[in-house]
Amino acid sequence: MSGHSKWATIKRKKAGIDAARGKMFTKAIKEITIAARTGGGDPVGNPRLRTAIAAAKAVNMPADNIERAIKKGTGSLDGVNYEEMVYEAYAPHGVAMMIESTTDNRNRTSGDLRHILTKYGGNLAEPGAVGWNFQQKGVIVIDASRVEEDAAMTLALESGAEDFRNEGETFEVITAMSEFHTVREALESKGLPVMEAGLQRLPNTIVQLSEKEAPSVLKLMEMVEDNDDVQKVFANFDISDEVMARLEM
């Protein structure tokens, strides 16, 4: 199982806790606002906004909150002027990280991330230091309990996907960025149970973590993603299922 998938699996298990703390609402509102600002307030002609709205609905955000975020993005309502920033960093044991943030104060965000990384054994890297090791791809997650693997794979590849991965409880459909929305809409139109979908930074090379190494990396990932200005965190680690099972005991 690849590093991005392992972290995504862990995040899904703690999603209820994040929702209770309002973290997921905050991230969804920021993404909707940015999407509306950069591509307009009509989701029909703005694929990024369509994806952001779908993600917000997936965490049960009320329609009024979504509408207000869109209006703030288009300028119909006064709102915070968010800026997108991408940070490159290292976690313990040579793990590379890409951190996507949306902030109204880049100095605050940079300082906060530097503090978190230093406290938990990581450090910020120079631009380009780790970015070369990641490719942006579309990732569509399908509930494996509700569809046969062969059927899902056939539909995904026929719809234009680049790759199809069995991740145990889920299937992952990998697409080129340019084909992401087309493939997602094709799969949904054919009734596949899409759990989540979005653009991710997938690593080209992987660092395999031992039972001793894994906790420090997972702790840092959790603390970085818990920051209010951070939208997404990607890293190039892998943890075997056997090690994960022991860590969860």
Instruction: Let me know if 127 is exposed, middle or buried by CB neighbors in 10 A (0-12, 13-18, 19+).
Output: exposed
Q: Are residues 177 and 220 in the same domain?
A: no
Residue range 95-142, pLDDT digits in tens: 999 999 999 999 999 999 999 999 999 999 999 999 999 999 999 999
Domain membership of residue 50 as a residue range: 3-74
Q: Are residues 126 and 215 in the same domain?
A: yes
Contacts of 22 (CB under 8 A, 6+ apart): none
Residue range 188-228, pLDDT digits in tens: 999 999 988 889 999 999 999 999 999 999 999 999 988 98
Number of domains in the chain: 3
Q: Are residues 123 and 138 in the same domain?
A: no
Whether residue 34 contacts residue 81, with contact meaning beta carbons closer than 8 Å, is answered with no
Q: Are residues 197 and 225 in the same domain?
A: no
The rounded distance, in Å, linking the Cα atoms of 190 and 41 is 27
pLDDT, residue 1, reads 39
Residue range 30-50, pLDDT digits in tens: 999 999 999 999 998 898 999
Total-model pTM: 0.85
**Of 24, 44, 74, which residue sits at a domain end?**
74
Q: Are residues 115 and 215 in the same domain?
A: yes
Q: Are residues 60 and 28 in the same domain?
A: yes
Dihedral (CA of 63, 171, 220, 31) sign: negative
Q: Are residues 99 and 220 in the same domain?
A: yes
Contacts of 235 (CB under 8 A, 6+ apart): 3, 4, 7, 91, 95, 96, 97, 98, 203, 217, 221
User: The CATH number of the domain where 148 resides is what?
Assistant: 3.30.70.980
The rounded distance, in Å, linking the Cα atoms of 114 and 234 is 17
The rounded distance, in Å, linking the Cα atoms of 245 and 249 is 6
SS3 151: helix
